[in-house]
């Protein structure tokens, strides 16, 4: 773990559930961090294929921010038009199994697990068996909670670029450019690409270049001083995370048969956000030699298990900027939204 800072002042101490209730962060409407507040609500029920997890830590990711704010508006078609169908935010979790459904075979009460669940900014959360893995013994709950969404997304992006350590290290060392390399997904993309034998260049703001180096990048680029897509350097793979270079600029920085994997982008219309650029890339890709693609982050037991092995071996390491207690979740969201986080932000419970 790269050193973080804990914000604990004013936190509410953890407590045992009373009369089937628990502490949770809830929201009754979409909006900024101010819509979040702490409440006591019933414990979640679990289905036959689910596990009830006593949450010890929950990661804060860009997807949770989108659901909290309700932007882009298109996501409301899935999550609820006026307010989220599930009032408790949060996806990443790490904790201890409290109960298992009748069809669960991989976990037992007392197991330490990490993965994704429903409404994890709470003392307890329900999670599907196929979206959990056993927590590596050599990392903390806080570290484990910083992994699932971001690292799985990064792993999928790196594999979409043709890099997969499971197939062995390629004879020719591929040159990979990672934009947004100091963020949650970007930091893991740097590490996963390095694990697959690539020569990695990471792009970030000047204040975070040291973090990108610590994550293992061979080269770093300060985007305020250098245009990484000016064509001076050519890359076999570009993993564009929360960057916003045009499709033409991405192509300029690619080798003639290179691959650009677009995984983020916050600029764009209120309805679709950064998806417009991704769809344009997909439409163009069949007509050129370069490959332009996008990925959607998902979490599976197989990928989580693979990442657990990398964590146990020390091949990848979570970069945590700060932890906040559950009661300070609105403050954590404001800090995350400000864009100053160096790595991940984690809620402790």
CA-to-CA separations, 166 to 39, 153, 155, 292, 314, in angstroms, rounded? 45, 17, 12, 23, 16
Q: For tokens 């009754």, name the residue.
A: 28
Phi, psi angles (nearest 5°) of residue 121: -80, 65
Residue 311: the pLDDT is: 98
288 with 113: CB under 8 angstroms? Answer: no
240 with 262: CB under 8 angstroms? Answer: yes
Residue 273: the pLDDT is: 52
CA distance 243 to 326: 30
Residue 180: the pLDDT is: 92
- pLDDT tens-digit profile, the chain (349 residues): 444 444 433 333 333 444 599 999 999 999 999 999 999 999 999 999 999 999 999 999 988 988 898 877 777 777 777 888 889 999 999 999 999 999 999 999 999 999 999 999 999 999 999 999 999 999 999 999 999 999 999 999 999 999 987 776 666 789 999 999 999 999 999 999 999 999 999 999 999 999 999 999 999 999 999 888 888 899 999 999 866 778 888 999 999 999 999 986 555 455 445 567 777 888 888 899 999 998 888 999 999 999 999 999 999 999 999 999 999 999 999 999 998 889 999 999 9
CA distance 139 to 320: 12
Tell me, letter by letter, the H, E, C secondary structure of 283-294: HHHHHCCCEEEE
CA distance 344 to 332: 11
Tokens of 161: 């670029």
CA-to-CA separations, 199 to 174, 202, 219, 263, in angstroms, rounded? 6, 10, 8, 20
299 with 61: CB under 8 angstroms? Answer: no
Helices 148-160 and 301-313: crossing angle, nearest 10°?
100
Residue 95: the pLDDT is: 98
Residue 227: the pLDDT is: 87
26 with 329: CB under 8 angstroms? Answer: no
- Nearest alpha-carbon partner for 125 in 56, 185, 69, 66: 56
Residue 186: the pLDDT is: 94
């Amino acid at each position: 773990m790269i050193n973080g800072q804990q914000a604990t002042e004013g936190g509410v101490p953890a407590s045992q559930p009373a009369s089937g209730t628990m502490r949770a962060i809830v929201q009754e409407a979409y909006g900024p961090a101010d819509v979040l507040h702490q409440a006591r609500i019933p414990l979640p029920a679990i289905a036959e294929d689910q596990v009830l997890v006593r949450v010890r830590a929950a990661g804060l990711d860009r997807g949770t921010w989108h659901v909290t704010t309700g932007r882009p508006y298109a996501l409301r078609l899935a999550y609820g038009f006026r307010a989220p169908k599930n009032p408790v935010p949060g996806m990443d979790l790490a904790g201890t199994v409290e109960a298992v459904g009748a069809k669960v075979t991989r976990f037992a009460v007392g197991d330490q697990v990490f993965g994704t669940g429903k409404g994890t900014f709470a003392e307890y959360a329900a999670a599907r068996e196929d979206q959990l893995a056993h927590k590596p013994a050599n990392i903390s709950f806080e570290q484990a909670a910083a992994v699932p969404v971001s690292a799985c997304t990064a792993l999928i992006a790196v594999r979409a670029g043709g890099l997969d350590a499971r197939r062995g290290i390629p004879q020719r060392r591929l040159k990979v450019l990672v934009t947004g390399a100091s963020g949650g997904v970007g930091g893991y993309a740097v590490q996963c690409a390095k694990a697959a034998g690539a020569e990695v260049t990471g792009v970030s703001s000047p204040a975070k270049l040291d973090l990108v180096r610590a994550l293992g990048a061979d080269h770093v680029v300060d985007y305020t001083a250098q245009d990484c897509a000016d064509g001076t350097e050519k890359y076999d793979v570009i993993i564009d995370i929360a960057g916003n270079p045009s499709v033409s600029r991405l192509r300029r920085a690619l080798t003639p048969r290179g691959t650009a994997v677009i995984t983020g982008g916050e600029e764009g219309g209120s309805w679709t956000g950064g998806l417009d650029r991704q769809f344009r890339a997909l439409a163009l890709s069949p007509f050129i030699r370069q490959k332009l693609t996008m990925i959607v982050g998902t979490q599976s037991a197989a990928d989580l298990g693979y990442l657990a092995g990398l964590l146990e071996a020390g091949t990848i390491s979570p970069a945590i900027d700060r932890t906040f207690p559950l009661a300070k979740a609105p403050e954590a969201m404001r800090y995350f939204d400000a864009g100053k986080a160096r790595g991940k932000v984690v809620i402790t419970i």
